[in-house]
Amino acid sequence: MKAIVQTDPQERRSLELREVEVPKLRSGEVLVKVQAAGVNRGDILQTMGAYPPPPGASEILGLEAAGTIADAGDTNWEVGTEVGCLLAGGGYAEYVAVPQGQLLPVPEGFSVEETAAVVEVGCTVWSNLGIEAGLHEGQRILIHGGGGGVGTFAIQVAKALGAEVAVTAGSQEKLDRCRELGADILINYKEHDFVEELKGSCDVILDIIGAKYLEKNMKCLAKDGKLIIIGMQGGTKAEINLGAMLPKRLTIQGTTLRARDLEDKAQIVAGTVENVWPMLEDGRVKHALHATYPLADAAQAHTALDSGEVTGTLVLTV
Amino acid sequence: MKAIVQTDPQERRSLELREVEVPKLRSGEVLVKVQAAGVNRGDILQTMGAYPPPPGASEILGLEAAGTIADAGDTNWEVGTEVGCLLAGGGYAEYVAVPQGQLLPVPEGFSVEETAAVVEVGCTVWSNLGIEAGLHEGQRILIHGGGGGVGTFAIQVAKALGAEVAVTAGSQEKLDRCRELGADILINYKEHDFVEELKGSCDVILDIIGAKYLEKNMKCLAKDGKLIIIGMQGGTKAEINLGAMLPKRLTIQGTTLRARDLEDKAQIVAGTVENVWPMLEDGRVKHALHATYPLADAAQAHTALDSGEVTGTLVLTV
């Protein structure tokens, strides 16, 4: 089969379509003929050596895909079924082996390309907001980077769960977008200190900044508040004041999706299908497919994603 | 009624028996005639101004007590029933008002004095090990200060839950005591680096040290591991490496019992009665009443607790 291979580990754009072996199925896995593969920031990090595949996972890029089942292996799935796939790797290829717990139906009204664009963000947002934070009606959540891919999706899921949503973003344009998606409190972090506006009021914070925001985030949390860190664009090392944690019983959690075990992923996928897929199908949550590129042009797609001009997900088509 | 009053806020041993008003009952509260009140480190901190009562709580010392119901207020409790009480304050007195969700039965085979000694430690350990950590069979827990009041109790509850228990303590004598209580891995922190022995292996850590151990504790956690900080004897400010949290999906939580709301406390008390009381009744968990003092001698009891020579709980009798 054909797949994208990084020919020079030192050169992150050296992504070429090469002939490689079709993956062998392990027990409980199906072979999916890929029609579309989502492009994620994790893929770019992987080309820079910063986000290696977990042990046993494919070395090929690609954390989400959609297509049809070509070989059901020892599972009861039917060959020809259209599916979305949450992957530990391997999506930038004609075929990918997928543990059956990581298969998702195509949401009603969605194309296969649109499905490939929504699996990773859907599972990421559900695992953090739904499973880890247990976000519910009457709570307030602060979402940093409200204008980004995870942010725009998280705003809508949080609103659908009945929460009040505060966001930070760096431009009026992004904040306008957040407002359209339902965000209640809009903060331009370049102009205002979000702590002043939110001090002690947030039940949950979804954070992509890390160290730079740690102290500020802790000040924004209410009693029993939970800070979930899913990215560290603002560095990894910070001073923490544990004395501020105990009286308010704060929790800080760092999470990733890729390195979870099969059981965890199956639970997250099932929860996402049960809770987020209906939100996509009835339009409560919208997610844009920004553009498609032929698989061979993966490098251009990475350059486009790096530009910061992308407002939805990029998809590679096979 | 008579109660212990701190006559000089600057003098932590100025604890005298004075005449004060009997507390008035709010809806859902009962009046308990106190026979015995447990003495806790939190009481000593309160006399130093470091652990003030939460808003609305009694200013009188005392976080746990046992006695008989003298006035059932608007509840269905029966006057004369012997009970233990989890308190936000007020135990060092002849009478205390107690929200009915914080009443516990006297465990079978226990005296009223012994009950007063086991409420606070029982609820503290259950809220952290049972409710927050969800500790279960096959997991490994590290308990710092294994020889202390919370530590000795936590070792036994963790063993009863089927976990493997590692402890740190500062003397062979304390470690021997931990071994008798069931601890599997004994580490004298003065002689050995606990990180070397436990690196990446602990599912749960119950910590009373705080800042000084933060980095070491994070190194000891396994994937999905949870650090629960209930004390900060080693300071409050530390550097944290968030980069170590995400790949292992670590959680850090600070908890206290006293400042929780009524609903939380009722849930903790119910869980403690359901899970820990049977462990006390069948002897899986033992907790020593170290000594009793007359209520008027509260200052001496505090001095004794401060000496570090106490191996169980001290109780004031009325």
- Mark whether B28 and B105 lie in a shared domain: yes
What confidence tens digit (pLDDT) does each residue in B102-125 have? Answer: 999 999 999 999 999 999 999 999
Report the pLDDT value the prediction gives residue A312, as an integer from 0 to 100. 80
Put simply, whether B25 touches A (Cβ < 8 Å) is no
Query: Which residue spans within chain B are E strands per DSSP?
Result: 2-6, 15-19, 29-39, 64-71, 82-86, 95-99, 103-105, 140-144, 164-169, 185-188, 202-207, 221-229, 237-241, 251-254, 289-294, 313-317
Give the domain-ending residue among A232, A254, A276. Answer: A254
State whether residue A282 is helix, strand or coil: coil
Selecting from A229, A239, A251 the residue whose C-beta is nearest the C-beta of B239 gives: A239
Contacts B249 to A, Cβ<8 Å: 253-256, 259-260
Q: What whole-number distance in Å separates Cα of residue B46 and Cα of residue B50?
A: 5
Which conformational region is residue A295 in: left (phi greater than 0), alpha (psi within -120 to 50 degrees), or beta?
A: alpha
Q: For residue A188, what are the domain limits? A: 133-254
Q: Is residue A127 part of a domain?
A: no
Give the domain-ending residue among B211, B227, B254. Answer: B254
Query: Which residue spans within B52-201 are E strands per DSSP?
Result: 64-71, 82-86, 95-99, 103-105, 140-144, 164-169, 185-188
Report the pLDDT value the prediction gives residue A69, as an integer from 0 to 100. 98
What confidence tens digit (pLDDT) does each residue in B216-234 have? Answer: 999 999 999 999 999 988 9
- Mark whether B283 and B245 lie in a shared domain: no
Give the domain-ending residue among B199, B219, B254. Answer: B254
Report the pLDDT value the prediction gives residue B277, as an integer from 0 to 100. 98
Put simply, whether B259 touches A (Cβ < 8 Å) is yes
Report the pLDDT value the prediction gives residue A86, as an integer from 0 to 100. 98
Put simply, whether A25 touches B (Cβ < 8 Å) is no
How far are the Cα atoms of A145, B14, B43, B90 from residue B59, in angstroms, in the given order?
45, 15, 11, 7
ipTM over 0.90: no
Is pLDDT at B182 greater than 90 in this prediction? Answer: yes
Whole-model pTM? 0.88
Put simply, whether A240 touches B (Cβ < 8 Å) is yes
What confidence tens digit (pLDDT) does each residue in B130-160 have? Answer: 999 999 999 999 999 998 889 999 999 999 9
Contact between B241 and A239 using a beta-carbon 8 Å cutoff: no
Q: Is residue A103 part of a domain?
A: yes
What confidence tens digit (pLDDT) does each residue in B59-96 have? Answer: 999 999 999 999 999 999 999 999 999 999 999 999 99
Report the pLDDT value the prediction gives residue A148, as an integer from 0 to 100. 87
**Mean pLDDT taken over chain B:** 95
- Mark whether A9 and A100 lie in a shared domain: yes
Report the pLDDT value the prediction gives residue A247, as an integer from 0 to 100. 84
274-303 of A, contacting B, C-beta below 8 A: none
In terms of average pLDDT, the best of A246-250, B202-206, B287-291 is B202-206
Contact between A202 and A185 under an 8 Å Cβ cutoff? The reply is: no
Contact between A247 and B255 using a beta-carbon 8 Å cutoff: no
> What CATH number does residue B200 fall under?
3.40.50.720
- Mark whether A264 and A246 lie in a shared domain: no
Is pLDDT at B40 greater than 80 in this prediction? Answer: yes
- Mark whether B238 and B266 lie in a shared domain: no
Q: Is residue A291 part of a domain?
A: yes
Put simply, whether A252 touches B (Cβ < 8 Å) is yes
Selecting from A210, A249, A253 the residue whose C-beta is nearest the C-beta of B254 gives: A249
Contacts A259 to B, Cβ<8 Å: 223, 247, 249
What confidence tens digit (pLDDT) does each residue in B228-280 have? Answer: 999 988 999 999 999 889 888 999 999 988 888 899 999 999 999 999 999 99
State whether residue B93 is helix, strand or coil: strand
Q: Is residue A48 part of a domain?
A: yes
- Mark whether B115 and B153 lie in a shared domain: no
The pairing of strands A251-254 and B164-169 is: unpaired
Contacts A243 to B, Cβ<8 Å: 210, 232, 236-237
Put simply, whether B258 touches A (Cβ < 8 Å) is no
- Mark whether A241 and A272 lie in a shared domain: no
- Mark whether B262 and B114 lie in a shared domain: yes
Among B209, B246, B260, the residue to mutate for chain A (most A Cβ within 10 A): B246
- Mark whether A15 and A80 lie in a shared domain: yes
Q: What whole-number distance in Å separates Cα of residue A293 and Cα of residue A247?
A: 52
Q: What is the dihedral of CA B127, B44, B216, A134, to 10 degrees?
A: 30
Contacts B223 to A, Cβ<8 Å: 259
> What CATH number does residue A68 fall under?
3.90.180.10
Contact between A123 and A268 under an 8 Å Cβ cutoff? The reply is: yes
Mean pLDDT of B274-299: 96
Selecting from B214, B254, B259 the residue whose C-beta is nearest the C-beta of A250 gives: B254
| DSSP H/E element including B57 | none
Put simply, whether B230 touches A (Cβ < 8 Å) is yes
**Total domains present in chain A:** 2
Cβ-proximal residues to B176 (8 Å cutoff; 6+ apart), any chain: none
Contacts B250 to A, Cβ<8 Å: 253-254
Contact between B165 and B306 under an 8 Å Cβ cutoff? The reply is: no
- Mark whether A112 and A17 lie in a shared domain: yes
Which conformational region is residue B49 in: left (phi greater than 0), alpha (psi within -120 to 50 degrees), or beta?
A: left
Report the pLDDT value the prediction gives residue A310, as an integer from 0 to 100. 79
What are the phi and psi torsion angles at A195 (to 5°)?
-65, -40
Per-residue pLDDT of chain A (318 residues; tens, 9 = 90+): 999 999 999 999 999 999 999 999 999 999 999 999 999 999 999 999 988 898 889 999 999 999 999 999 999 999 999 999 999 999 999 999 999 999 999 999 999 999 999 999 999 999 999 999 999 999 999 999 998 889 999 999 999 999 999 999 999 999 999 999 999 999 999 999 999 999 999 999 999 999 999 999 999 999 999 999 999 889 999 999 998 898 889 999 999 888 889 999 999 999 999 999 999 999 999 998 889 999 999 999 999 998 877 778 999 999
- Mark whether A194 and A300 lie in a shared domain: no
Q: Is residue B271 part of a domain?
A: yes
The whole-angstrom distance between B40's CA and the closest CA on chain A is 18
The whole-angstrom distance between A239's CA and the closest CA on chain B is 4
Contacts B254 to A, Cβ<8 Å: 242, 245-246, 248-251
Q: Is residue B127 part of a domain?
A: no
Contact between A162 and A136 under an 8 Å Cβ cutoff? The reply is: yes
State whether residue B313 is helix, strand or coil: strand
Q: Is residue A7 part of a domain?
A: yes
Q: Is residue B128 part of a domain?
A: no
- Mark whether A282 and A244 lie in a shared domain: no
Put simply, whether B24 touches A (Cβ < 8 Å) is no
Q: Which residues pair with B140 in a beta bridge?
A: B164
